[in-house]
Structure 1
Amino acid sequence: MGTINFVKMHGLGNDFILIDCLNQSLPEPEKFAIKYCDRRFGIGSDQLLLLYPSEVADFKMRIFNADGSEVEMCGNGIRCFAKYIWDRKLTDKEVLEVETLAGIIKPRKIGELVQVDMGKPEFSPSKIPVDVEGDRAFDLILEISGWHARINCVSMGNPHAVIFLDEEPKNFAVTKYGPLIENHPIFPKRTNVEFAFVKNPNEIVMRVWERGAGETLACGTGACATAVVSMIKGITDRKVTVHLLGGDLMIEWAEDGHVYMTGPAEEVFEGIVKVPQIG
């Protein structure tokens, strides 16, 4: 029986167990995520974030979903990750370089908020990935349980399927259609799914079904993906506010081709968990 120190954090209600692995080790993080992300029998979170040293950047972040699957990137997660580093004075840099499976991501401190350079969106179907031909996977029609969903696919370091609705998604059956689209055979690595309504050229209202986590209160990469698709389609400006269930994110697709996401990150509490042999 060992002990693991952790911090509970959230970005707009998208919540995380963050474990600092600079001075402690966590064997079998997949099994830890499955056990302790559970909201009734564990600590409770959407995802598990692990902080490691990096040979190519300032720090390295690994991300595990509540189902134990490892994923490439998490926008809300990296804001929490950066806040943890700054709050504990692990560096005096105002701009961090964080190694992820999606490449090196750069969070910047903007007052009480965190801005993240999310890099350039990827539209090539083979790199998202989505099994379709062509240069771009927009306006694909998927027949899902009798509903013909028009999806637009993009990667922000992880795969997204963006669907625009005719009204706000407040009453939309996200929990019905989300998992069916997530696990559709057209997506070899599954996908995150965004259900969005463009309120005006500067505002998007969105709910999200996250791959491996279910519906969450916010998804940073999903907000970026949705904003980018709406901008390409000419239905929003290049700078928008995305309203999620947990709060707002500001998304800008800048002239340099990079997407910049700005939003809050909060620490909830610190704790120690006794870890038996998991599994």
Structure 2
Amino acid sequence: MVNTKFIKMHGLGNDFVVVDARSTPFRVTKESVFAMANRHTGIGFDQLITIVPATNPGAIAFMRIHNSDGSEVSACGNATRCVARLLFEETKELTITLETSAGLILASHAKDNPENYVIDMGLALHNWWEIPLSEECDTNHLPLSYNKLTDPVAVNVGNPHIVFFTEDVKNIPLEQLGPELEYHSLFPERVNIGVAQIINKNQLLLRVWERGAGLTQACGTGACAAAVAANRRGLTNELVKVNLDGGDLDIELQPNGRIFMTGPASISYTGEFNYNLFDGSKKLDAQGD
């Protein structure tokens, strides 16, 4: 089997294996993703990102996103910045449009820092059926609690999120509550869980349990969801810095409702692997440089 080239990237520690499959088809199965994501016997990543030809003529490429458990999702803010960086370096364009299963996403260079990229994450959805929830609820105060955490905000920013607010995010056992709430019956598509601590009107701390990936160093859509949730509660302004375990993201909520996320995209290494994607074999021969 011909080796497949990949690029290992990360956005503030949220790490990805990126495969460019625009010219060479790359078959993805749940079993193969799960095996490749294993940090002991595979390459290891939070998400596998596959770049394929766009179906929309207005987009430069289509980005597929698979979590480490093999499930496919519609949006990942950190991965979008990483793919945008690769395509900016390839095309030398100032702005590009990416296609995802959540829709078209516009990316551009940050004007004040060449290492940062700005992603138009689109509009947040707030109606209970848009999250989606299994029953009608007030999405600004969900009837949900876990120990001292209560009434989170629910918002969809390309994928479903709930955001709890606490006075000390470091003392919340996210590793315990994450798996329990991710599969709660209120969320038919499962859910991402954020726990936020307000520092001031322009800053918050955030930790996120990602649906299908677990606790990560950073979550771009989670940062957007937290900024939206905090603003809905009147806790923060329209421009807020989100401090994550892996670093900071700047989130801007525009008057028209669109969300702009600014942050870095880093390359860790490049490599290639020879892996049987068809039978779910867990044998992996990876070579990096």
- Equivalent-residue separation in structure 1 for 2:41 and 2:227 (angstroms): 36
Q: Secondary structure at the match of 2:243?
A: strand
Deviations 1:149-202 (A, max 9, x none): 3211000010001000122x1232000001111110000000000011001101
Q: Which residue of 2 aligns with 1:230?
A: 230
Report if the CA contact (8 A) 2:161-2:193 is conserved.
Answer: yes
Q: Which residue of 1 aligns with 2:85?
A: 83
TM-score w.r.t. length of structure 2: 0.91
Residue segments in structure 2 that go unaligned for 5+ positions in a row: 281-289
Deviations 1:118-150 (A, max 9, x none): 00100011111012325x412123244x55532
Q: Which residue of 2 aligns with 1:95?
A: 95
Q: Does 1:68 align with 2:70?
A: yes
Q: Secondary structure at the match of 2:86?
A: helix
Trace 1:14-163 onto structure 2 (pairs within 5 A).
Answer: 14-56=14-56, 57-87=59-89, 89=90, 91-110=91-110, 111-133=114-136, 136-144=138-146, 149-163=150-164
Structure 2 residue identity aligned to 1:72: S
Name the count of aligned residue pairs.
274
Q: Does 1:208 align with 2:208?
A: yes
- Equivalent-residue separation in structure 2 for 1:16 and 1:278 (angstroms): 23
Q: Does 1:199 align with 2:192?
A: no
Structure 2 residue identity aligned to 1:225: A
- Equivalent-residue separation in structure 1 for 2:46 and 2:148 (angstroms): 28
Q: Which residue of 2 aligns with 1:166?
A: 167
- Equivalent-residue separation in structure 2 for 1:83 and 1:245 (angstroms): 22
- How far is the alpha carbon of 1:86 from its aligned partner? 1.8
Residue segments in structure 1 that go unaligned for 5+ positions in a row: none
Report if the CA contact (8 A) 1:141-1:148 is conserved.
Answer: no
Q: Which residue of 1 aligns with 2:221?
A: 221
Q: Which residue of 2 aligns with 1:7?
A: 7
Give me the CA root mean square deviation.
1.3
Query: 4+ residue runs of structure 1 moved beyond 4 angstroms?
Result: none
Q: Identity of aligned pairs, percent?
A: 40
Change in CA separation of 1:100 and 1:32 when aligned onto 2, cut-off 3 Å: same
Deviations 1:40-63 (A, max 9, x none): 111110000010111312110000
Q: Does 1:177 align with 2:139?
A: no
- Equivalent-residue separation in structure 2 for 1:115 and 1:161 (angstroms): 24
Q: Secondary structure at the match of 2:32?
A: helix
Report if the CA contact (8 A) 2:149-2:165 is conserved.
Answer: no
Q: Secondary structure at the match of 2:128?
A: coil
TM-score w.r.t. length of structure 1: 0.95
Report if the CA contact (8 A) 1:153-1:159 is conserved.
Answer: yes
Q: Which residue of 2 aligns with 1:246?
A: 246
Report if the CA contact (8 A) 2:16-2:47 is conserved.
Answer: yes
Deviations 1:203-256 (A, max 9, x none): 100100000000000000000000011111111111000000000000000122
- Equivalent-residue separation in structure 2 for 1:109 and 1:31 (angstroms): 36
Q: Secondary structure at the match of 2:123?
A: coil
